Amino acid sequence: MPDKLDAVPAALHLVCAKGANRISYLGASRISEAFAKDAAPTVGAICVVVQADYEYDYDDDIDVATGDAIVALAIVNGIGGVASGTVRATLTPVHRLPEAVPVSSLQGEPVELGDLPADYHSRKLDPEIAETLLNHLAGMDPSVSKWLAQVFGELRTFPTSVEQSRVEAKDAVKLAAQLAEIELPADAFVSPPAETENETLLQTLLNAGYEVDLEEELLPLDLQRFDGKLTGKQRAASVTEFTDKWDRTKLIVMSVNKKPIELELGVDLLYWDQIHDSFTFIQYKRLEKVPSPKPSSGSEWAYLRKGEIEKQLELMPSGKDSSATAADWRAFGTPFWFKFVRGDAGSKLDGKTLKGMHIPADWLRPAMKDETFMSGPRGGFRVTYDNAKYLGRTAFTQLISRGFVGTAGARSKAFKKVLRSKDRELIIAVRTEWQKDTTPAGTARAPRASNGLD
């Protein structure tokens, strides 16, 4: 058993959390709980999270027993108003206990826990009971003491570039663990103290913070997000399905990085809007912070590698699709887009896709040939927020969800064959065909069959 805690680092509140099952069954690192205004825990407090009707599967041959159980500890990160007399508290970070502790076992020795609070209420534990309970939990789970020390200790600070790499690495590790159904340690992503010894391998990797300008590091961030409203569900290592509140299949986001589609079409992600039967293709580019040529500006975010853009534009078909029906009409002639993202975008996550410039390939082509991007020192090449025509993430996501961008008709049908076969030769054939007008002006096309979602 580890040494006893020197002191309880913060007030301890007992909470019967509605979101406790998300911690138990989904490994949630953050939950949001509603409380009566006068019975909410305070910011910075430690919550002892109780799950009602927790299932104890003692033996496969007998029925599952249920009961109230302590499943986690969590910190009150913030409290905001929701309605009159009600507030909502954000509980994060969360430390999930390796084994749930039955509340019934804490109604005498070693801890007299007392009655559980009512729904939407928390109960602050007396200091003596709080210390006894935490020491009891630490005896059952030695990582409790370490987690508390990390959460309440002095945090290690990192340079901006290193912190950016840490955020991206965390997102990628979370995604990989989710897909592999591997349970990460509850304290895996808690910032370590200012001084620490014997770091775990995971901590060492995250703290190293190497600077590598790879756009692929940004893909897991946008793969799991769209507009903050649709609900995302991971279907495979590189596929996420987003649905609306009516639970209709609406949007599928796929990473084709390092696959034949990327090699032949020059894209990283594709969006398939199933309602409008439309594919939109995205190539990511990462902006870097460079000195500004303007005397009073200091620095600016720019993309300097002209050859990379030219190479990917060469792969992207430039033919325009003529619409014969209203359903096939698109506001842009190309389904191919570039997304330019600042190098620190990972430090400003808010549940939506990363902020950045969405630029259609058809605009980039003439801009690359004229003087549009020759704004660097001595007329050097650079793409910046000042010299590019672009859409922000909100406008771009609305255009996708409302069917204003992407493939239509024959092009969508052709690309479905590519997805089914993943035949590299077929991709090349589709790219070649797309260089032509797929529907001559004035030629009628059969109406698209309804998929039941329109």
Q: What is the pLDDT along the chain (454 residues), one digit of tens a residue?
A: 345 666 788 899 999 998 888 887 667 788 889 899 889 999 999 999 999 888 764 443 344 467 899 999 999 988 887 667 888 899 988 998 988 899 988 887 778 888 899 989 999 999 999 999 999 999 888 888 888 888 887 656 667 766 776 777 777 777 766 666 665 654 456 554 444 444 444 444 444 333 333 456 577 778 778 887 888 877 766 788 888 777 777 888 888 877 788 888 889 889 999 888 899 999 999 888 888 887 766 788 999 999 999 999 999 988 776 677 888 889 998 999 999 998 777 666 677 888 899 999 999 999 999 989 998 888 899 999 999 999 999 899 999 988 999 998 888 888 888 877 767 888 888 888 787 654 444 444 333 333 332 2
pTM above 0.85, yes or no: no
Does residue 71 contact residue 54 with C-beta atoms inside 8 Å? yes
Show Cβ contacts of residue 317 under 8 Å, excluding neighbours closer than 6 positions: 265, 336, 431, 434, 435
* Same structural domain, 197 and 295: no
Q: What is the pLDDT of residue 99?
A: 86
* Same structural domain, 368 and 223: yes
Instruction: Please confirm whether the linkage preceding 117 is cis (ω < 30° from 0).
Output: no
| Residue 1 covered by a domain | no
* Same structural domain, 224 and 366: yes
* Same structural domain, 271 and 388: yes
Position of tokens 């033919």?
Answer: 319
| Residue 48 covered by a domain | yes
| Residue 174 covered by a domain | yes
**Which residues, listed in sequence order, are joined to residue 241 by a DSSP beta bridge?**
233, 252
* Same structural domain, 171 and 227: no
| Residue 450 covered by a domain | no
* Same structural domain, 203 and 240: no
Show Cβ contacts of residue 124 under 8 Å, excluding neighbours closer than 6 positions: 11, 12, 13, 14, 41, 45
Rounded-to-integer distance, Cα 391 and Cα 372, Å? 17
| Residue 307 covered by a domain | yes
* Same structural domain, 351 and 294: yes
* Same structural domain, 25 and 113: yes
| Residue 7 covered by a domain | no
Give phi and psi for 339, each to the nearest 5: -120, 115
* Same structural domain, 164 and 144: no
Residue range(s) defining the domain that contains residue 202: 160-208
Does residue 375 contact residue 295 with C-beta atoms inside 8 Å? no
* Same structural domain, 25 and 116: yes
Does residue 281 contact residue 411 with C-beta atoms inside 8 Å? no
Neighbouring CB atoms inside 10 A of 351's CB total 10
| Residue 3 covered by a domain | no
Domain count, the chain: 3
* Same structural domain, 367 and 285: yes
Instruction: Please confirm whether the linkage preceding 291 is cis (ω < 30° from 0).
Output: no
| Residue 446 covered by a domain | no
* Same structural domain, 46 and 110: yes
Question: ∠ CA(304), CA(306), CA(311), 5° rounding?
Answer: 140
| Pairing of the two strands 12-16 and 46-56 | parallel
